[in-house]
């Protein structure tokens, strides 16, 4: 039994293994598997075939990546994925925050790209970024009415 584990250890030596991209692909494959469960008994049998092929293909791709000995290529793939994720996650956080915080509007600074949380008062306003002190015009829809008294 000890020789089996020794041979297994030798087989996996120098292999790439699992990284963030592999974990994401496994989760995506699980989503396709769940979709297969829902569309299996519907008239849209072609969707079942498409989701099944995608599910199987992703699992095979993850396995091939994990067992690959071309570590530099796998690291480059993972780095590209992490760069893409770093651009998508802040946008997702902004969308999530806008749904949970109904009292504020969220805008990005046009100069530095920082996220500003502004009071949600309808109309045109001038905002100042606390990071770079840039001032810019914002237009907010669907907030409270401005309660300035008109004379």
Query: How does pLDDT run across 87-136, given as a tens digit for each residue?
Result: 888 777 777 776 777 788 888 888 888 888 888 888 888 999 998 999 99
pLDDT digits (tens, 9 = 90+) for 124-147: 889 999 989 999 999 888 766 665
Contact residues for 47 (Cβ-Cβ < 8 A; gap 6+): 35, 39
Q: Which of 129, 101, 135, 103 is nearest to 116 (CA)?
A: 129
Q: Decide: pTM greater than 0.85.
A: no
Cα(20)–Cα(146) distance, integer angstroms: 47
- pLDDT for the residue numbered 146: 60
pLDDT tens track for 34-45: 988 888 877 878
What is the model's pLDDT at position 18?
A: 92
Residues whose CB falls within 8 Å of the CB of residue 147, separated by 6 or more in sequence, listed in order: none
3-state DSSP of 82-94:
HHHHHHHHHHHHH
Identify the band that residue 1 occupies on the pLDDT scale cut at 50, 70 and 90. Answer: low
Contacts of residue 41, Cβ cutoff 8 Å, sequence gap at least 6: none
Q: Would you state the pLDDT for residue 149?
A: 42
DSSP for residue 40: T
d(C-alpha 128, C-alpha 109), whole Å: 8
pLDDT attached to residue 37: 87
Tell me the three state secondary structure of residue 66.
Answer: helix
Please give the residue that has the higher pLDDT: either 78 or 115. Answer: 78
pLDDT at 114: 83
pLDDT over 80 at 15, yes or no: yes
């Amino acid at each position: 039994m000890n020789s089996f584990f020794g041979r297994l250890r030798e087989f996996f030596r120098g292999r790439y293994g699992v990284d963030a991209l592999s974990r994401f692909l496994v989760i995506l494959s699980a989503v396709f598997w769940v979709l297969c469960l829902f569309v299996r008994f519907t008239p849209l049998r072609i969707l079942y075939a498409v989701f099944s092929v995608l599910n199987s293909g992703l699992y095979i791709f993850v396995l091939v990546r994990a067992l690959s000995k071309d570590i530099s290529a796998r690291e480059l793939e993972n780095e590209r994925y992490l760069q893409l994720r770093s651009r998508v996650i802040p946008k997702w956080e902004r969308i999530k925050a806008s749904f949970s915080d109904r009292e504020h509007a969220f805008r990005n600074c046009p100069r530095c790209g920082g996220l500003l949380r502004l009071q949600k008062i309808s109309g045109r306003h001038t905002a100042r970024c606390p990071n770079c002190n840039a001032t810019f015009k914002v237009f907010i829809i669907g907030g409270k009415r401005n309660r300035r008294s008109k004379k």
